[in-house]
Amino acid sequence: MKLSSIPNDIYLKLKSIPDQTKGVFFTICAGCLWGLSGVIGQYLLQTVKINTAWMIAIRMWLPGSILLILCYRKYGNNIFLPLENKKDIVYLINFSIFGILISQLCYFLTVKYSNAATATILQYLYPIVIAIILTIYLKKPPSFYVILSIILAITGTFCIITNGSIYKITLPAKALLFGGISIAGSVVYTLYPIPLLQKYNTSTVAGWGMFIGGIILNFFYPFWKLDQHLNLISWIELMIVIFGGGMFGFLFYLIGIKLIGSTKGSILATVEPLSAVFFSVFLLNVRFTLIDWLGTACIISMILILAIKKV
């Protein structure tokens, strides 16, 4: 076989794979990359002592820049359309600061003061907050599934925060504070850009959101100023956090939901908290008790119910 025919053979084999299979693969890969990114971020923040805001500044503007370049190659000057409308610019800035920046920064601060598994599980409480907001906004009584989801969310959060004891909170106060803000940021990240997404493609909106937030954060934490000396391994780990979770995870998820739909994609994305727990336990030796596993199961069940029933 000629070497020139090998890439073509691989392409034909990949093309023959059903879209559903490829969609499932890309979506699960996205969740695993997000989970791994959080765990490696925990090591960099707690052991290497990298500044959290400095890391997030790079994690936003660099992937955002690359994403905008990719969008420009596909859509041309259309990527600048959101910047031609004053109202859309305000939406972009607010989405960037109060959505992407706040959710990412506070997520990794929660990681810093607890661990990646706990931070990821807590952040995944945001769907129940959205369900409650929509129930109030639509002025309709909560369905059975919303009520069940609330019960599961409360039970899961109680287990993780108190480790099953009603007399003490085992999670640090800073982790609780930043975890709560991270949830709020995720709600904004999900709901606020809807008017923009109705006018422009998702990649362009996300690209500008990451780029703007990263540039703003760089005014306070310039990417060229780093207090710590990083060795080669630490730089590789930092690149995994920046590109693995920051860009490729997002792109893989977009590819996945395009192939299998948003409902199945959101269900499969629940692999993220599971992968965060798995990597935390096996890479960082984080101790997860039976109560912690119970809390995790409750919150993942809540996510699945909300995704399947679309409540």
* DSSP 8-state symbol, 74: H
Alpha-carbon torsion angle 240, 74, 253, 176, nearest 10: 60
- Name which of 183, 49, 202 is nearest 124 in CA terms: 183
Of 129, 255, 237, the residue nearest 187 (C-alpha): 129
Integer CA distances (angstroms), 267 to 88, 152, 179, 233, in order: 31, 17, 22, 34
- Cβ neighbours of residue 262 closer than 8 Å, sequence gap 6 or more: none
The per-residue pLDDT string of the chain (311 residues; one tens digit each, 9 = 90 and over) reads: 444 444 555 445 555 666 677 777 888 888 888 888 989 999 999 888 899 999 999 988 888 899 899 899 988 999 999 898 888 899 899 999 998 899 999 999 999 998 888 888 888 888 888 888 878 877 778 778 778 888 888 888 777 777 766 666 677 889 989 999 999 988 888 888 888 888 888 888 888 998 999 999 988 888 888 777 888 888 999 999 988 887 888 788 777 777 776 666 667 777 888 888 888 888 888 777 788 888 888 888 887 777 776 55
Task: Find out whether 45 and 111 touch, Cβ atoms under 8 Å.
Answer: yes
